[in-house]
Structure 1
Amino acid sequence: MSDAEKSGFISKVIGPKKRWRAYKARVKELPENHRTAVEAIERYLMYFVPTEGDSTESMLEDLADLFEQAVVDGTPIREIVGEDPVEFAEAFVQNYSEGGYVPARARKQLTDALTRATGEDTGKADKAV
């Protein structure tokens, strides 16, 4: 393997890893309820991960952008995702890929996680911080 080939391989491995870590650091900075919502959507979207390299990273970075802006604007989670988080996630992913098969269990997990994040199951109000 030539030096150029090694360099290309290393950048392919490190690049996505670096972007992933940066994305995770951004999500970690979100208020707890927004972070919970993003992590639930992320888990759900992993069923739709495109095969094209940058699409996945771009999709997750855009998700972080959306929720960071919502925090700044004071936008409640339900105003972002609506009443059906599965519908939101599936519409969101359509910008990045053709999508894939999502089992009913994953749909229920996403819906339940967003219900918890918005405080609907505990009576807590969804408030941006």
Structure 2
Amino acid sequence: MRIRDIIEGKKEWRAHVARVKALPQDYQIVYKEIQKYLFKVGPVELTHGTVLLSGIIDLFEEGAVLGKGVLEVTGSDVAAFCDDLIKDSKTYADIYQESVDQKVNKAIKKVTDIKK
């Protein structure tokens, strides 16, 4: 990665953060919780850009302009809202499950081979 790319990435992230700070307080709180949730559970692609997060800000900005409360936009179950956003994405949880399954299958095969 070139220095120019790093600088551009930082500029984009700062602009992103400025958009979040311009939201009403309730939207900021929910956005930060969504961000934490997605970083923990999240889709693998989330680390490759802010497209999903920017889309959430777009949605929140529209909701705020219309005078809606944030939970009118997301629904009362914010985690379910997040899960719906990433339902077709591969997540770190999926990768971990695959890793566990592979290790278990390998161990079982080894035990089975020893018994033969």
Distance in 1, matches of 2:80 and 2:46, equals 23
Deviation string 1:62-110 (CA, Å, 9 cap, x unpaired) is 1111111110011222221112111101111346x312329xxxxxxxx
SS of 1:83's equivalent in the other structure is coil
- What's the counterpart of residue 107 of structure 2? none
- For the pair shown, the structure with the greater C-alpha radius of gyration is 2
Say if 1:59 and 1:93, in contact at 8 Å, map to a contact too: no
Contact 1:70 1:76 in 2 (8 A): yes
Matches within 5 A, 1:6-85: 9-47=2-40, 48-51=42-45, 54=48, 56-85=49-78
Equivalent residues, number: 93
**Aligned in 2, Cα 1:66/1:17: closer, same or farther, shift over 3 Å?**
same
Structure 1: how far apart are the matches of 2:87 and 2:8?
24
**Aligned-pair Cα RMSD in Å:** 2.3
- Distance apart, 1:46 and its partner CA: 1.1
Structure 2: runs of 5+ lacking an equivalent? 95-116
Return 5+ residue gaps in structure 1 as ranges: 1-7, 103-129
Which residue type is aligned with residue 75 of structure 1? K
Secondary structure, counterpart of 1:78 in structure 2:
helix
- Give the fraction of aligned pairs with identical amino acids, expressed as a percent: 30
| Deviation, structure 1 residue 58 | 0.7
CA 1:101 to 1:23, structure 2 compared with 1: closer, same or farther past 3 Å? same
TM normalised by structure 1 equals 0.62
Q: Which has the higher contact order (CA 8 A, sep 6+)?
A: 1
